[in-house]
Structure 1
Amino acid sequence: MVHALRYGDGNLQNEARYQYDSLGRRTHKQVEIEGTLTTTQFLWQGLRLLQETCGGGQQLYIYEPDSYAPLARVDRTDGGKPSLYYFHTDQIGTPLEVTSAQGDLVWQARYKAWGDVERFEVQSVEQHLRFQGQYFDAETGLHYNTFRYYDPGVGRFTTQDPIGLLGGDNLYQYAVNPTGWVDPLGLSNNPISNTPLGETLAPVSARTGKTYQGQQIFKITGKTTIDGVKFKPGDYYYMDGMHKDHIETFSSKNASKGVFNLDGKYNAEKSARAAKRIGSGC
């Protein structure tokens, strides 16, 4: 989305324009409300939002290791001293409260099932983060979700899955269950996405629309290396359906390439047992 208009009572309430870099990350947004133009710039660390700058103020985000769940935020205005805030999140990394360095509660919200804010209990500071990887845009009511926009009112993306029908027949689905699944990139509901292994595989993974023993099969679309093992386009993997603590990987010719734990480590014992296994294909 590059341009948005919002009307109320037949009148234009606000107008917004968005700019992105070559990787699809949003770098600027300009919002005009009643003739007043506000510009926000975004700086990224990989695919995680690192900093936003608006006017003379900056907000720097700190996250949990190998995650999109926020830990803290450092606010600074031109010439002023930095202010430190801490996030308090739920089981999937959604901010519930924000406290100051002195322990004062400065932001608190209650959510509906699919991430829409039901009400603010405390709102002494602005806080735009929602589900992991999502940024709330007040001008549209949507959540920017890296590669797509998400509508928390209906629990769906506003545009189709970039990989089309390869991701299944529901092209607008967010996640199977918002109480236990997240989709920081807006690309898939891959169950390994929020793990160290997912950090490596998510940028080079695509759903095939096929399953093995009830688990989705993902194909690898780019070159990558996991704990010393090299993978290339055409290789594929799926999660173990019983324990859900590791994935099995295969070459494009259906030969086993090893078993990996969700922390990204090669599992030698399980890989030895799977060495002669023939993949199901993708």
Structure 2
Amino acid sequence: MFTVRNASAQSEIHSESSIEPGRQPRFDLGTSRRCCRGLQRLGVLLAYWRYVRAGGLRYRSGFGDGGWLALLPVAPLARMIPTRVAYYVYDEAGRLLGEYDATGKAVYETVYLDEQPVAVLTQPELGKNSVYYAYADHLNSVRVIVRPSDQAFVWLWGSGEPFGQVPPGTNPSNLGVFTYNPRMPGQVADVESGWFYNWHRDYNPGLGRYVQSDPIGLLGGTNNYSYVGSHPTRGVDPTGLLEHFMLELNSEPVSSLECGCRDSYPAFSGNPPYRNDPNSTTQAGIGAAPTGWYYIVDRPQGGIGGRVMSLVTGKYEWFALYRDDGTPGDDTVEKGVMRREIRLHPKGSRGNSFGCVTLNKQADYDRLRKLLLRTKTGIISGTNIKYYGTILIYRPTIGEPW
């Protein structure tokens, strides 16, 4: 990516700017403020597609961060290209709800059941909606969109290629072009660049990797550009950062806690005979943890007595898991059954897991804890609770339409 440091949201690039093969390009910035314009969301500079010329090449403004303005080389062209404006609306959990054009008309809107996309709405004209059914894979990436009246496919992303290189079919049944830009969880396809916007970073589906380096450096692994350890069929990274994990309730004695940081840890949830059993989530105190997204937070210690007991029992290094059910806290209700004090911790001498996510080895847990404590944190929406990351606990066949 070509970048201009400390550029304002609008800057001019003069023709004497130069690019040398194999080296970072140099740009001379003017002050007429006429060629590039930035849009911001939550402090992150987004693209507002205007084009300029520099050193015989054409550039467009791209995604940046704070005072950085990113510029990408495209095919030579001597004149400016008209701007396309798109607005994106996200919910408090960071899910993309919809894309809208300059008039406010919805290009598409997505309806979710928990974290799973189940329907897509479009607006052929303002005030009139069309509803379509959405079918997602086990990672909650929409793969098929159908028309309810006859189940005809209107959009199909069914290629066996896992990195997203093959674009979706936007008119598989000859019913007209259907626009839907979400890709893997947290990603939005950008038509102009061919990349997927992935919140903190951009993802290149042709290369199957990020364009920018991991902001936490080598802590995320020796390859700073890898996407979920090059295993896109078993992991997601909605924000482009090292903080997302997945645990499959596979009905086996041991499953694997997969990390977007390119690491994995043997783990389990629940005690025998319900260990990793997706049908046991209503068995209070013994069954596996209910499916869904969980925030990884500091374990509540209570007063002085509680902190002393945590030290004595060795639980002071545990994390708590707060389910994303609208009421962040220790308790969650699963089909009318209260599940309490779900934790993330290593296996103890007795090997118990009372519905927690339990790592099989102490050394694995120590490594995981070190990673969490050194990565960026967030705040659970509507609270002042700090979280270190998230875990998705899921059934093997969740969302599979085939």
Q: TM-score range by the shorter chain?
A: 0.5 to 0.7
Which of the residues 237, 240, 243 maps onto 1:183?
A: 237
CA RMSD of aligned residues (A): 4.5
CA contact (8 A) 2:243 2:260 kept: no
Alignment of 1:148-159 (within 5 A): 148-159=201-212
Structure 1's 98 and 19: CA in aligned 2 closer, same or farther, altered over 3 A?
same
Task: Give the CA deviation at 1:94.
Answer: 2.1
What do the CA deviations read for 1:162-205 (whole angstroms, capped 9, x no partner)?
A: 1112212211110131111111111127423999xxxxxxxxx9
CA contact (8 A) 2:201 2:211 kept: yes
What do the CA deviations read for 1:1-55 (whole angstroms, capped 9, x no partner)?
A: 8989xxxxxxxxxx9965332354x7x6433587332100112112211222113
Task: Please tell me whether residue 91 in structure 1 is matched to residue 143 in structure 2.
Answer: no
Task: Please tell me whether residue 30 in structure 1 is matched to residue 48 in structure 2.
Answer: yes
Task: Please tell me whether residue 110 in structure 1 is matched to residue 167 in structure 2.
Answer: no
**Matched-pair identity in %:** 23
> What stretches of structure 2 of length at least 5 have no aligned partner?
5-34, 52-79, 250-258, 268-294, 302-309, 325-331, 333-338, 344-351, 371-402
What do the CA deviations read for 1:230-277 (whole angstroms, capped 9, x no partner)?
A: 38xxxxxxxxxxxxxxxxx99xx9834367598876248637x99xx9
Structure 1's 73 and 90: CA in aligned 2 closer, same or farther, altered over 3 A?
same
Larger radius of gyration: 2
Q: Specify the code of the residue in structure 2 equivalent to 1:70.
A: P
Cross-structure match for 2:110? 61
Alignment of 1:191-210 (within 5 A): 191-192=245-246
Greater relative CO, 1 or 2 (CA 8 Å, sep 6+): 2
SS at match of 2:200: coil
Structure 1's 259 and 39: CA in aligned 2 closer, same or farther, altered over 3 A?
closer
Q: Specify the code of the residue in structure 2 equivalent to 1:41.
A: Y
Q: How many aligned positions are there? A: 227
How far apart, in 1, do the equivalents of 2:263 and 2:228 lie? 17
How far apart, in 2, do the equivalents of 1:178 and 1:91 lie? 11
CA contact (8 A) 1:98 1:105 kept: yes
CA contact (8 A) 1:29 1:40 kept: no
How far apart, in 2, do the equivalents of 1:16 and 1:110 lie? 37
Structure 1's 45 and 169: CA in aligned 2 closer, same or farther, altered over 3 A?
same
Task: Give the CA deviation at 1:139.
Answer: 0.5
Task: Give the CA deviation at 1:126.
Answer: 0.7
| TM-score, structure 2 normalization | 0.46
Structure 1's 193 and 126: CA in aligned 2 closer, same or farther, altered over 3 A?
farther
Structure 1's 224 and 230: CA in aligned 2 closer, same or farther, altered over 3 A?
farther
Alignment of 1:1-282 (within 5 A): 19-22=39-42, 24=44, 29-31=47-49, 35-46=81-92, 47-56=94-103, 57-58=105-106, 59-65=108-114, 67=115, 69-76=116-123, 79-102=126-149, 103-111=151-159, 112-117=161-166, 120=169, 122=172, 124-176=177-229, 177-188=231-242, 190-192=244-246, 229-230=299-300, 255-257=316-318, 266-267=341-342, 270=353, 280=366, 282=370
Structure 1's 38 and 106: CA in aligned 2 closer, same or farther, altered over 3 A?
same
CA contact (8 A) 1:29 1:41 kept: no
Q: Specify the code of the residue in structure 1 equivalent to 2:40.
A: Y
SS at match of 1:83: strand
Cross-structure match for 2:23? none
How far apart, in 2, do the equivalents of 1:191 and 1:183 lie? 8
Q: Specify the code of the residue in structure 1 equivalent to 2:48.
A: Q
Q: Specify the code of the residue in structure 2 equivalent to 1:64.
A: L
What do the CA deviations read for 1:76-117 (whole angstroms, capped 9, x no partner)?
A: 255441111221122222222111232332111333231122
| TM-score, structure 1 normalization | 0.63
How far apart, in 2, do the equivalents of 1:16 and 1:141 lie? 20
Structure 1's 38 and 206: CA in aligned 2 closer, same or farther, altered over 3 A?
closer
Structure 1's 193 and 45: CA in aligned 2 closer, same or farther, altered over 3 A?
farther
> What stretches of structure 1 of length at least 5 have no aligned partner?
5-14, 196-204, 216-222, 232-248
Task: Give the CA deviation at 1:118.
Answer: 5.1
